[in-house]
A and B are shown apart, each in its own frame.
Chain A
Amino acid sequence: MKLSSFLITLLLLIALSLLAGCQPETERPTYTIGYMNCNSEAETIQRFQPLTRYLGEKLGVNFKLVPVDTQDFPERFKAGEFDFTHTNSLLYIILHKEAGLSLVATERRGEYGSRTAGAIISRKGSGIKTIDDMKGKRMLFGPQLAPSGFLAQYDLMLQAGFDPETDLSYYGIPHGSFKHEKVVYGVYFGAYDVAAAPALDLETMAAEGKIRADDFNIIGQSRIFPYCTFGAAKRLDTDLVNRFQRALLELTPEVTVELDGEVVKVLDGAWVDGFDQLVDSDYDPLREMARRANMPPYQEF
């Protein structure tokens, strides 16, 4: 009799502890991930919803996805709006220096894996084949805080003794979304003489058959540097950050989540091949570029 009451109590205790483990979503802690908009807010939400759901399931917490405009990112992060960040590598080094953002994982996508580069292109047959040939020409850049669409090319020209501010007749940045594609098409259709194209966008457009390799002269390409990066605010618990990192590094193309009744592949949905664990010093080539180009976080007036 005594033994059976002991067993019943034990079973009740086990059941209670199991129930405690299954914390309902409403009682889980909520953390915010700020995702930098690449092309548009709608695209950011569509791309990163499955990944955000996966991370929440894996860590047993709620994650709120917040699409953020690139220019607003530093200010909003410093105001404590985001616990985790997904930004380009230039924003990572800015937030690392100015607000103690720590490196979590780097996105792997395209030929260079977790690295990327910036290229300067002209249309084949234009006669513009070198940086010297660009004197007095019209150039189109990507957004100003884009490492592979602005900084890399700006630095490439400076290193060749070419000052974009005085040696080009004009340079501009396209309006609205899908700036990188607009830049490539700007040269393709002859509206501009040269353009600052991210290597990844050229590669994707060639793979999709939108452009042909023979359509362009590649005047120059920067050295490679890290691609888009996940970071964590310094106030976060180390164990949470480590689990977040592990969840990203363990992601394989087969991992799926259910979203609005649909089973979605997480990496495919985010247009990502996987995640790599880099170290902060891997970002030094980009820091050198930012210093030479007098750009944040090293800008001096």
Chain B
Amino acid sequence: MPDRFDMLHLVGLLVVAGGLLLLVLTPQPEAGAMHGGRLDRAMEKQMLARARTDFLKQTYAPVVDLTASGEYAAALLKLKELGREYPGEPHGDILRGEILLAQQAWQPATASFVRGVKGNGDYVDAKSPLSRYESISRVVDEGLRQVGAQVKQHPDNSSLQETMRDLYYLQSRLAGGCE
């Protein structure tokens, strides 16, 4: 005959089993919420990306304006000044690459583009609002032609070989290759 203590155990077990059953059988209202959460996160991501793009465009606008008017020295100086506030920002590296390229400084220009692309792959993504696909393509095409010709003349020159490696890296990133 079960005593009172056994009965207490039995009742406890029944309550737990009932609770579990209720949990299993109850329809999950979470499904909708999760879908909403995913949407929220996607939107949040997009908002952040847009805010970042706008911020970069606004912050670096003086550099872009100076570059557009051919004032490369002043543009580089402004970029240096901004570098104090935002050291290592890939957008600065990309702009620096464009300015140096306009001054025919192939080696530092290519190295700067490489730093920028390594810092943020959006610059080689044709669909990104930050995309520099076209200008980096031009750097690669022209660079391989010009630096390539120099390497043929001086095949043992390690500095030219380094620039060629940088150009091949950019070429591979443009083609969709990863790090």
Chain A residues near B (Cβ < 8 Å): 111-115, 117, 119, 199, 202-203, 206-207, 209, 212-214, 216, 218, 221, 223-224, 249, 276-279
B residues near A276, Cβ cutoff 8 Å: 107, 159
Contact of A199 among B73, B96, B111 (CB under 8 A): B73
A residues near B103, Cβ cutoff 8 Å: 112, 223-224
Contact of B76 among A114, A203, A216, A279 (CB under 8 A): A203
In the assembly, what is the distance between CA of A113 and CA of B158, in Å? 15
A residues near B96, Cβ cutoff 8 Å: 111
A residues near B107, Cβ cutoff 8 Å: 113-114, 276
Main secondary structure of the interface of B (DSSP, over half): helix
A-B pairs with the 4 shortest C-beta distances? A113-B108, A213-B77, A276-B159, A221-B73
Size bracket of the B interface = 20 to 34
Q: CB of B83 within 8 A of chain A?
A: yes
Q: CB of B80 within 8 A of chain A?
A: yes
A residues near B104, Cβ cutoff 8 Å: 223-224
In the assembly, what is the distance between CA of A113 and CA of B77, in Å? 15
B154 nearest in chain A by CB position: A279
Contact of A279 among B74, B84, B157 (CB under 8 A): B157
In the assembly, what is the distance between CA of A224 and CA of B104, in Å? 8
Least CB distance from A264 to B in Å reads 24
Q: CB of B81 within 8 A of chain A?
A: yes
A residues near B83, Cβ cutoff 8 Å: 207
Contact of B84 among A117, A209, A216 (CB under 8 A): A209
Report yes or no: B74 in contact with A212, Cβ–Cβ below 8 A: no
In the assembly, what is the distance between CA of A278 and CA of B162, in Å? 12
Report yes or no: A117 in contact with B73, Cβ–Cβ below 8 A: yes
Report yes or no: A119 in contact with B157, Cβ–Cβ below 8 A: no
Report yes or no: A202 in contact with B158, Cβ–Cβ below 8 A: no
In the assembly, what is the distance between CA of A212 and CA of B104, in Å? 26
Report yes or no: B80 in contact with A203, Cβ–Cβ below 8 A: yes
A119 nearest in chain B by CB position: B73
A275 nearest in chain B by CB position: B159
Least CB distance from A265 to B in Å reads 19
In the assembly, what is the distance between CA of A216 and CA of B81, in Å? 13
Can you list 9 contacts pairing A with B, beta carbon distance less than 8 Å?
A113-B107, A115-B108, A203-B77, A206-B80, A213-B77, A218-B73, A224-B103, A224-B105, A249-B158
A residues near B76, Cβ cutoff 8 Å: 111, 199, 203
Further pairs besides A111-B96, A221-B73: 15, Cβ < 8 Å:
A111-B100, A111-B108, A119-B73, A202-B73, A203-B77, A207-B83, A213-B74, A213-B81, A218-B71, A218-B73, A249-B158, A277-B157, A277-B158, A278-B159, A279-B157
Q: Hey, what's the 0/1 contact readout for B80-98 against A, CB within 8 Å counting as 1?
A: 1101100000000000100
Q: CB of B50 within 8 A of chain A?
A: no
Report yes or no: A113 in contact with B72, Cβ–Cβ below 8 A: no
Report yes or no: A207 in contact with B80, Cβ–Cβ below 8 A: yes
Least CB distance from B89 to A in Å reads 14
Report yes or no: A114 in contact with B159, Cβ–Cβ below 8 A: yes
Least CB distance from B58 to A in Å reads 17
In the assembly, what is the distance between CA of A223 and CA of B72, in Å? 11
Least CB distance from A289 to B in Å reads 16
Q: CB of B78 within 8 A of chain A?
A: yes
B residues near A112, Cβ cutoff 8 Å: 100, 103, 105, 108
